[in-house]
């Protein structure tokens, strides 16, 4: 029997919760229901979910806040926000809070199933790209994570893209425009503020647990990746042979 995907349904309206429960169960998903934000946070902390359906209007904590807290707890499962018509003030706010997708009620169940399927699909951004090493850092594209001094750190999509850019330019001062172009893929696609927020999240993960920061601020210019040996290498599948892709700095 194949492993079923586990979905957490956070919804306080019982009618909608029941509809979702039966629809998703019929589609062969294992469904766990939470009626409040607090219950959702507790369940998500104690159980692995492949995807979370999250109502925005909950009786205790707002869905938006639940979403933020889930991300703060490093829960990386896709989160699809369910929102009542007219209660959606800012789509950008949803994505800033870490949502993957959203749907407005009343929603079409077929469409919801399609979006769930899309959300569960593995991220195709970095198919079979080999890991890259700079000093004590090893970037794992296939796992979308970075390893520092043996500690594996999971990164969110933008954090990964930023880290990748830093590691492609070790020891160089990189400006926010270049970082934005790399991570958002368009010129002027992200505000300075947004980049700084993502860099902060990245630093919380990559630098905070360690005595020495690797990402440093260069006031007035941007940021710089500082490591003991600023050489970028691609590691082959066996992890043995290296191919230099940047020169050693003096
Ligand atoms: Ca509700």
Are 114 and 132 in the same domain? no
Quote the tokens at residue 163: 């880290």
Distance 38 CA to ligand 1 centre (A): 14
Please indicate, yes or no, whether residues 97 and 184 belong to a single structural domain of this protein: no
Cα(57) to ligand 1 centroid in Å equals 4
Regarding whether 138 and 84 lie in a shared domain, the answer is no
* 37 CA to centre of ligand 1 in angstroms: 10
Core vs surface per residue 94-111: b (16+ CB within 10 A) or e: beebbbbbbbebebeeee
113 and 198 assigned to the same domain: no
User: What confidence category does residue 88 fall into, taking pLDDT thresholds of 50, 70 and 90?
Assistant: low
Higher-pLDDT residue of 182, 21: 21
Ligand 1 centroid distance, CA of 194 (Å): 29
How confident is residue 47, by pLDDT bands cut at 50, 70 and 90? confident
Q: What letter would DSSP give residue 142? A: G
Distance 120 CA to ligand 1 centre (A): 24
Of the candidates 42, 46, 54, the residue with the CA atom closest to the CA atom of residue 7 = 54
| Residues 184 and 113 grouped into a single domain | no
- Nearest C-alpha neighbor of 11 from the set 74, 81, 65, 91: 81
Q: Is the pLDDT of residue 125 over 80?
A: no
What are residue 31's DSSP bridge partners? 7
Q: How far is the CA of 81 from the centre of ligand 1 (A)?
A: 11
The Cα 192–Cα 140 span in angstroms is 27
**Dist. CA 75 → ligand 1 center (Å):** 22
Q: Report yes or no: 56 and 107 within 8 Å, Cβ to Cβ.
A: no
Q: How far is the CA of 114 from the centre of ligand 1 (A)?
A: 22
Listed residues 120, 155, 185: the one ending a domain: 120
Please, are residues 53 and 7 in contact by the beta-carbon 8 Å criterion? yes
Cα(70)–Cα(140) distance, integer angstroms: 23
Q: How far apart are CA 142 and CA 97, in angstroms?
A: 25
The pLDDT-based confidence of 229 (bands split at 50, 70, 90) is low
Q: Ligand 1: distance of its center to the CA of 56 in Å?
A: 6
Distance of CA 36 from the midpoint of ligand 1 (Å): 9
Between the CA of 250 and the centroid of ligand 1 the distance, in Å, is 59
Span from the CA of 12 to the centroid of ligand 1 (angstroms) = 5
Residue 198 has pLDDT above 60, yes or no: yes
CATH number at residue 192: 1.10.10.10
Verify that 109 and 144 share a domain, yes or no. no
Q: Which two tokens stand for residue 38?
A: 């607090």
**Distance of CA 156 from the midpoint of ligand 1 (Å):** 28
What is residue 156's predicted lDDT score, i.e. its pLDDT?
87
Cα 15 to averaged position of ligand 1 atoms, centre (Å): 11
Do 86 and 22 lie in one domain? The reply is yes
Whether residues 131 and 178 share a domain: the answer is yes
21 token code pair: 């429960």
E-strand spans in 56-107?
79-83, 101-104
99 CB-side CA count, 13 A: 24
Q: Is the distance from CB of 184 to CB of 132 less than 8 angstroms?
A: no
* Distance from Cα 54 to the centre of ligand 1, integer Å: 9
Which residue range(s) make up the domain with 19? 6-120
Does 1 fall in a domain? no
State the pLDDT confidence band at 64, using cuts at 50, 70 and 90: very high
| 133-191 per-position pLDDT tens digit | 888 898 988 778 899 988 889 888 889 999 999 999 999 999 988 888 888 775 545 56
231 with 210, same domain: the answer is: yes
**Confidence bin at 113 (pLDDT 50/70/90):** very high
Q: What is the mean pLDDT of the chain?
A: 83
Confidence band, pLDDT 50/70/90 cuts, at residue 120: confident
> Which segments within 45-105 are labelled E, that is strand?
51-55, 79-83, 101-104
How many structural domains does the chain have? 2
């Amino acid at each position: 029997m194949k492993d079923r995907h586990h979905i957490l349904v956070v919804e306080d309206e019982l009618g909608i919760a029941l509809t979702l429960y039966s629809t998703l169960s019929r589609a062969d998903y294992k469904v766990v229901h939470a009626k409040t934000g607090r219950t959702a946070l507790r369940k998500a902390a104690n159980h692995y979910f492949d995807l979370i359906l999250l109502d925005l209007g909950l009786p205790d904590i707002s869905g938006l806040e639940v979403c933020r807290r889930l991300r703060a707890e490093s829960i990386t499962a896709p989160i699809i926000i369910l929102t009542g018509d007219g209660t959606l003030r800012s789509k950008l706010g949803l994505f800033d809070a870490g949502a993957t997708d959203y749907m407005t009620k009343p929603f079409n169940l077929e469409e919801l199933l399609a979006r769930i399927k899309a959300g569960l699909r593995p991220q195709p951004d970095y198919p079979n790209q080999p890991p890259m090493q700079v000093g004590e850092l090893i970037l794992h594209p296939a796992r979308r994570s970075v390893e520092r001094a043996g500690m594996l750190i999971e990164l969110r999509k933008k954090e990964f893209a930023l880290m990748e850019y830093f590691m492609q330019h070790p020891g160089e001062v990189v400006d926010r425009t270049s970082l934005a172009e790399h991570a958002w893929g368009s010129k002027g696609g992200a505000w300075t503020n947004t980049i700084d927020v993502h860099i902060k999240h990245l630093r919380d993960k990559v630098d905070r647990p360690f005595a020495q920061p690797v990402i440093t601020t260069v006031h007035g210019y941007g940021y710089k990746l500082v490591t003991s040996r600023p050489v970028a290498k691609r590691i082959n599948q066996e992890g043995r042979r290296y191919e230099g892709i940047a020169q050693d700095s003096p």
